[in-house]
Structure 1
Amino acid sequence: MNTIHIKSAIQSYDIVIGNKIRHLVGKYLPRSYSAILIISDSNVANLYMEDIAHAFTDQEVYIEVISPGEQAKNINTYYYLQTKAIEYQLDRKSLIIALGGGVVGDLSGFVAATFMRGIDYVQIPTTILAHDSSVGGKVAINHENGKNLIGSFYPPVLVFYDTDMLKTLPQREVRSGYAELIKEAMLADLDLLNRLLNVSLPAVNMEETTYLLEKGMRIKADIVELDEKESGTRMYLNLGHTLGHALETKLGYGVITHGEAVAIGLLFAVYVSNNELKAEIPIHKLKTWLNQNQYPLDIPSEIIDDLVNIMKRDKKTIHKQVQMILLQGISEPVVHMIDDLKLRKYLTAFVMEEMKGGI
């Protein structure tokens, strides 16, 4: 069992990582609570809800199970959960536990951030992807016009990561999570990136995955501690997300996974970096690895204009100029302003030439 401590101006917290530790979560809570509301989705609840609920013997425990998938991260589900919290008579000394992947974590965290102006919550990630989303306190719901446009910065009091729960993940979710690991390595660790690009996802074992997860979480923790509210260096964590979020919004939440969309966004960010900044990042190697591990990489050419318009509405856009995170090299991220004409030019070339003909 390993612990990573996150320093936060709002509230510091620990990330506890271990195998088959979920029954111990009650012992790691920072204080006692008047009541506990566990929020999960139907896929995860059927597997692990009983284990988590039975970890608490001295508190009143309530359970709410939502539909799985990105489509659930909306205002209606958020309002429903707020209503249930009121009906269960939760108070300011109550706790919310997010048991699930990034959707459950983002949604539950936003419920906690806004219920009675903020109560404690715990992240219990159950996916590889959630190693990223559970750390740093960014909580949100989606709007039909853009992903995560409604949200807040609100850190948990604990992240409790039982890697044993990853063994039930379908291959698509493994792909999704590894895209965020690739992102973190591109931002800060060439050796880690090279190790990741030699991994075959269908054959990867849990020991290797656990090692890579901890490395990725430490990279994110270091960045978050420097810039908790994304006024500077934390923006680097959006590498690949400008196009990735636009794809999720345009195609419909859940049509492709977040990580699959980010994978395409990473390729595009490298393409723009090599052209705009004259970087020399080996884009062929990245695309080959994505193809070998069956990431969907096709973008319909007829949605290019829509994608540009969505990117212009992104929360990172300033004065109608898109802020893209680019790379001068591996471990050398920069924030780069790009106007919509140039963005459309690069995206058109990326879709029509590079993605169709092979980068």
Structure 2
Amino acid sequence: MMKTLMVELGDRSYPIFIDGGLLDREDVWGNCIKKKGNVVIVTNTTVCTWYLSRLEESIRRLGLKVSSCILPDGEMYKNLESFNQIMTFLLEHNCGRDTTLIALGGGVIGDLTGFAAASFQRGVDFVQVPTTLLSHVDSSVGGKTGINHPLGKNMIGAFYQPKAVIIDLLCLKTLPERELAAGMAEVIKYGIIWDKSFFEYLEDHTDDIWKLDFDVISEVVYRCCSIKAAVVHEDEREGGIRAILNLGHTFGHAIETFMGYGVWLHGEAVAAGIVMASRVALSRGSVSGEEFERIVSLLRGNRLPVAKPDSMTTDDFLRLMIHDKKAVNGKIRYIIPDSLGKSSVKDDLSLKEIEDATR
């Protein structure tokens, strides 16, 4: 049975649909797209081979004209060049303000397409169709869009909400194991920052998740989206509580930038970052030794790294983290667990704490 929830943002509220086979559901698509104007699907060279023709056919069955802009696959292409490629495609196809963009892919495609939608003719509609676990549970929800810069990840972008998020869980059947693991880093994050019972659910159902048990995966995605929708409703533009969604990201973004975008997957870097943040919490006594070991064990059990790259030093982290978009007045802000199921923003980490965390 299809699960539905709303991201409540007043006149910018939108639904999230979660089920298998949604790519082919005309009833869902008919409620998410204008009945006029161009429809442009933005996807990549990997995803298009699996799902593009099905989605195009669903749109055509609504009596709408559809075309597709296909980008190269990879985090290294989340840049101005790809953004400009989308802009050029829209202009060459005479798209207007009644155009709807559809982001068919993972977090890179979602972020790029959302930023393009926010920018083209000062804003057109877009719909998120995430195809990876990470984008199912995190990047497709909440309206963060953008691209990377060589000096920092996600430093150029906009808050711009989609008209809908359509999550077809069957897309996970074609997801490589490494990408599934990367998504689990964001899933585990929600248990640490918000819901201890969900963390325990993940401990109990790790094997089922890796077997892609439909009922378990559906529950995992729904609970993650519910948490994110609640946080975004309270703090859309990350002026307060929404920052806790960045657990592990300050350290993780530094890893991604240092290694080169795409060498470590986003979720892999976040997993190592979660361990670093949890190590600070352990030293401060807000997380017990047992809780720390459970965090590490759950990450490791989901085939994720729990240590930084050997080549990175504390100085490398400090140099790169100062450019993180969460830094305020020159102070680096970190999300630190207060216990399992709770976390808060800290900007008072000492050099020794950072050294110990990044050892």
Query: Which TM-score bucket, shorter chain as reference?
Result: over 0.9
2:292 corresponding residue in structure 1: 283
The residue type equivalent to 2:89 in the other structure is: K
* 2: CA distance, partners of 1:46 / 1:159: 21
2:304 corresponding residue in structure 1: 295
The residue type equivalent to 1:121 in the other structure is: F
Q: Work out the number of aligned pairs and report it.
A: 349
The residue type equivalent to 2:323 in the other structure is: R
TM-score, structure 2 length as denominator? 0.93
1:355 corresponding residue in structure 2: none
**Conserved in 2, the CA contact under 8 Å of 1:33 and 1:95?**
no
* 1: CA distance, partners of 2:41 / 2:230: 29
Alignment counterpart, residue 318 of structure 1, candidates 300, 306, 328: 328
Gaps of 5+ in 2: none
The residue type equivalent to 2:95 in the other structure is: L
2:339 corresponding residue in structure 1: 329
In structure 2, relative to structure 1, the CA distance for the partners of 1:143 and 1:9 (3 Å cut) is: farther
Is 1:120 equivalent to 2:125 in the alignment? Answer: yes
Which shows bigger deviation, 330-339 or 316-325?
330-339
Matches within 5 A, 1:1-359: 1-9=2-10, 11-24=12-25, 25-57=28-60, 58-131=63-136, 132-198=138-204, 199-200=206-207, 202-276=210-284, 278-280=286-288, 282-299=291-308, 300=310, 302-338=312-348, 342=350, 344-352=351-359
The residue type equivalent to 2:8 in the other structure is: K
**Conserved in 2, the CA contact under 8 Å of 1:40 and 1:98?**
yes
**Conserved in 2, the CA contact under 8 Å of 1:248 and 1:256?**
yes
* 2: CA distance, partners of 1:349 / 1:68: 36
**How much is the aligned-residue C-alpha RMSD, in angstroms?**
1.6
What SS does structure 1 have at the residue aligned with 2:319?
A: helix
What SS does structure 1 have at the residue aligned with 2:283?
A: helix
**Conserved in 2, the CA contact under 8 Å of 1:176 and 1:257?**
yes
Among all aligned residue pairs of Structure 1 and Structure 2, give the percentage whose two residues are the same amino acid: 35
**Conserved in 1, the CA contact under 8 Å of 2:16 and 2:166?**
yes
* 2: CA distance, partners of 1:93 / 1:62: 14
Which shows bigger deviation, 202-211 or 241-250?
202-211
The residue type equivalent to 1:6 in the other structure is: V
**Conserved in 1, the CA contact under 8 Å of 2:8 and 2:233?**
yes
1:43-69 deviation per Cα after TM superposition (whole angstroms, max 9, x unaligned): 110000001001122222111111111
**Conserved in 1, the CA contact under 8 Å of 2:34 and 2:100?**
no
The residue type equivalent to 1:326 in the other structure is: I
1:356 corresponding residue in structure 2: none
**Conserved in 2, the CA contact under 8 Å of 1:301 and 1:348?**
no
The CA deviation at 1:165 is 1.1
In structure 2, relative to structure 1, the CA distance for the partners of 1:301 and 1:279 (3 Å cut) is: same
